[in-house]
């Protein structure tokens, strides 16, 4: 293989390696720049004001620079256009003078050129200067290569005009110094440069102050949010001075804090009430346990009483814990709801039979029971209805009447549980569904109530898109109306 071929292959290989290296660099540099920018952004914390002012100042600078280039270019083009018109007029006047005279009117051309501030040169066919108003003026070197047209050389503009039909003068070369035009452009450029710096500084200072004023509500929000604690949830953001999206943000934040405060207070009340409810049965069990430890082993009557009391309190604690767990699952939306189609009238008949078996002190009546099929969780619906029935049993004196009826209308089923018991006062009625709320605390303790039953029942009914209405008055009984949507009915 010859040295030339080896050299040629080496050159090609080197070029390929160079091209690949360039591609690798072009691939890596943007990614390295992005990684570096992200790293700097993470390490350095810039405020919204700084970022906004920087971006808008940069944008303003770019726009100002583009406008300056456009203005300078347009003004420079206008000056050249005027210079070209002036040279055209001078060339035309010179041609008229030559055509009107038998010989070249050098004196008139000299006088005219001095007045107009131009230099006029006459050339023969060999492009040699036969006359010039300025002996120190040298035409551009490319005149012989392009004998007509516009030329620039040594700070002057030249225009070469061919003359037809004249053997002594074949070309008229008119030129003009561009010193004035250059000075005009420099003055304009200096004015734009000088005005650029104050304009940018003004925008930075004014923009900074304006943004700080506009974003002051955010600083207030940050300070207020930092000052809020579990013991100071009533603090809210001031929305008086805001009239834009920040006001909407502050109002949304205040609404969120309202919900958090309500939830926090409910949680505290829930924990306090649960602790209180658990404290009482534990104290009773401890008391009877101590009694058994001292005298219960020898006294049969004390032993029976203690065991019975401990069993009752244990049952109450079990009921309370089960209901607490139910509500906890309901709050977390983990309580299972398995909806199936079933006959609600059969469920009500079943409840009536069971209630009559476990309660012989009241008259249980079912006057009307609509035959209807319901799509719902049968066990949960039964649990909710059982809660209302149990409440009627607890608060209805022996010998009282409890009615369990149902009727259908407008694709809605209404189940009524009505009693002639002690009733609920007007003051207590709005709060009966609150957790651990008890209207008659003395009787609740005797009946083993937890104050959670109605909360559970309400959750079950609302989970099935139903509603509950309670009509009651003291010593006039209570009527509970449960309304459920019906999807399919049959006779």
pLDDT in tens, 201-245: 888 888 888 877 777 777 777 777 777 765 667 777 776 665 667
pLDDT in tens, 155-195: 777 887 777 665 667 778 888 877 888 888 888 888 888 88
Cα 69 to Cα 55, 73, 484, distances in angstroms: 21, 6, 76
For residues 345-371, average pLDDT: 90
Could you tell me whether strands 467-472 and 412-419 are parallel, antiparallel, or unpaired per DSSP bridges? unpaired
User: Could you tell me the two tokens for 67?
Assistant: 């406008």
Asked if residue 200 lies in contact with residue 144, where contact means CB atoms within 8 angstroms, the answer is no
Q: What is the pLDDT of residues 291-318, one digit of tens each?
A: 777 766 667 777 777 778 788 778 777 7
Distance CA 325, CA 334 (A): 11
pLDDT at residue 441 tops 60: no
Name which residue leads in pLDDT, 376 or 45.
376
Per-residue pLDDT of 36-68, as tens digits, reads: 656 655 555 667 777 777 778 888 888 888 888
pLDDT band at 482 (very low <50, low <70, confident <90, very high): very high
Name the class of domain 245-329: mainly alpha
- Side-chain-side CA neighbours of 238 within 13 Å: the count stands at 9
| pLDDT of amino acid 416 | 93
Domain range list for the chain: 8-45, 46-214, 245-329, 337-485
CA dihedral over 219, 221, 226, 232, signed as positive or negative: positive
Total count of residues recorded for the chain: 491
List, for residues 53-106, the tens digit of each pLDDT value. 777 888 888 888 888 888 888 888 888 888 888 888 888 887 777 777 767 777
194-221: b (≥16 Cβ within 10 Å) or e: eeeeeeeeebeeebeeebeeebebbebb
Q: Closest by alpha carbon to 97, among 107, 85, 88, 83?
A: 107
Task: Return the pLDDT at 468.
Answer: 92
Tell me the C-alpha distance between 414 and 469, whole Å.
10
Whether 390 shows a pLDDT value over 70: the answer reads yes
Summarize the confidence of residues 425-447 as an average pLDDT: 69
Selected residue with higher pLDDT from 31 and 489: 31
Distance CA 86, CA 175 (A): 10
Average pLDDT over residues 433-449: 60
Is 50 exceeded by the pLDDT of residue 402?
Answer: yes
Sign of CA dihedral 311, 387, 406, 342: negative
Give the model confidence (pLDDT) of 6-36 as tens digits: 545 555 565 666 567 667 766 776 676 667 6
Summary mean pLDDT of the chain: 77
What's the Rg (C-alpha) of the chain? 51
How far is C-alpha 168 from the chain's CA centre?
84
Q: What is the pTM of this model?
A: 0.50
CA distance 211 to 116: 57
What is the separation of C-alpha 490 from the centre of its chain, rounded to a whole number of angstroms?
A: 51
> DSSP state, 292?
I
CA dist., res. 337 & res. 462, Å (int): 12
Q: Which of 9-18, 21-30, 270-279, 390-399 is predicted with the least confidence, judged by mean pLDDT?
A: 9-18
Please state, as a whole number, how many other Cβ atoms lie within 10 Å of the Cβ of residue 468: 19
Question: Where in 32-184 does DSSP place strands (E)?
Answer: 119-123, 129-132, 149-153, 156-162, 171-177
Residue with token string 């050339």: 123
Q: How far apart are CA 159 and CA 148, in angstroms?
A: 7
Mean pLDDT of 464-473: 90
Q: Partners of 469 in the beta sheet?
A: 481
User: In the predicted model, is pLDDT for residue 341 greater than 50?
Assistant: yes
Cα–Cα distance measured from residue 113 to residue 31, given in angstroms and rounded to the nearest whole number: 64
Percent of the chain beyond pLDDT 90?
Answer: 9
Architecture (CATH level 2) of domain 337-485: 2-Layer Sandwich (3.30)
In this prediction, residue 334 carries a pLDDT of 81
Q: In sequence order, what are the beta bridge partners of 479?
A: 418, 471
Band of pLDDT at residue 489, cut at 50, 70 and 90: very low
Using the predicted structure, report yes or no on whether residue 417 has a pLDDT greater than 90: yes
Higher confidence at residue 449 or residue 288?
A: 288
Is the sign of the CA dihedral 352, 355, 356, 362 positive or negative? Answer: negative
Alpha-carbon span 156 to 134, nearest angstrom:
13
| HSE of 189, CA atoms in CB hemisphere, 13 A | 11
Question: What pLDDT does 403 receive?
Answer: 92
Comparing C-alpha atoms, which of 341, 351, 456, 327 is closest to residue 406? Answer: 351
Place of tokens 């909407």: 248
| 46-214 CATH fold | Beta-Lactamase (3.30.450)
């Amino acid at each position: 293989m010859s040295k030339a071929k080896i050299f040629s292959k080496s050159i090609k290989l080197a070029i390929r390696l160079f091209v690949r290296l360039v591609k690798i660099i072009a691939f890596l540099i943007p990614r390295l720049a992005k990684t570096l920018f992200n790293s700097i952004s993470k390490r350095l914390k810039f405020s919204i004001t700084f970022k906004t002012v920087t971006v808008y100042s940069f944008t303003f600078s770019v726009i100002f620079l583009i406008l300056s280039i456009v203005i300078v270019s347009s003004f420079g083009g206008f000056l050249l256009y005027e210079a070209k018109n002036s040279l055209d007029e001078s060339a035309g006047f010179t041609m008229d003078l030559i055509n009107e005279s038998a010989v070249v009117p050098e004196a008139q051309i000299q006088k005219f050129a001095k007045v107009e501030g131009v230099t006029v040169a006459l050339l023969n066919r060999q492009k040699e200067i036969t006359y010039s108003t300025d002996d120190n003026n040298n035409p551009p070197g490319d005149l012989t290569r392009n004998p007509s047209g516009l030329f620039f050389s040594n700070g002057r503009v030249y225009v070469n005009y061919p003359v037809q039909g004249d053997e002594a003068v074949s070309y008229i070369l008119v030129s003009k110094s561009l010193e004035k035009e250059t000075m005009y452009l420099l003055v304009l450029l200096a004015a734009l440069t000088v005005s650029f710096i104050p304009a940018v500084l003004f925008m930075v200072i004014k923009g900074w102050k304006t943004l700080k004023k506009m974003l002051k509500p955010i600083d207030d929000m940050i300070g207020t949010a930092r000052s809020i604690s579990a013991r100071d949830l009533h603090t809210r953001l001031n929305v008086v001075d805001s009239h834009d999206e920040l006001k909407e943000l502050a109002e949304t934040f205040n609404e969120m804090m309202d919900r958090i405060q309500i939830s926090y207070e409910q949680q505290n009340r829930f924990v306090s009430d649960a602790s209180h409810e658990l404290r009482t049965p534990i104290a009773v069990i401890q008391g009877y346990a101590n009694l058994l430890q001292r005298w219960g082993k020898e006294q049969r009557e004390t032993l029976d009483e203690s065991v019975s009391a401990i069993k009752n309190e244990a049952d109450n604690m079990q009921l309370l814990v089960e209901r607490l767990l139910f509500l906890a699952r309901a709050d977390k939306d983990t309580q299972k709801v398995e909806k199936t189609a079933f006959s609600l009238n059969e469920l009500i008949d079943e409840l009536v039979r069971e209630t009559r078996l476990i309660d012989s002190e009241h008259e249980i009546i079912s006057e009307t029971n609509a035959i209807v099929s319901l799509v719902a969780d049968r066990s949960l619906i039964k649990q909710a209805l059982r809660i209302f029935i149990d409440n009627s049993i607890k608060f209805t004196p022996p010998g009282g009447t409890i009615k369990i009826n149902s009727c259908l209308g407008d694709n809605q089923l209404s189940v009524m549980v009505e009693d002639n018991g002690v009733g609920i006062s007007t003051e207590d009625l709005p709060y009966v569904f609150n957790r651990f709320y008890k209207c008659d605390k003395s009787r609740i303790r005797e009946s083993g109530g937890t104050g959670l039953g109605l909360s559970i029942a309400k959750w079950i009914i609302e989970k099935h898109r139903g509603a509950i209405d309670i009509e009651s008055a003291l010593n006039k009984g209570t009527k509970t109306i449960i309304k459920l949507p019906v999807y399919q009915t049959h006779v």
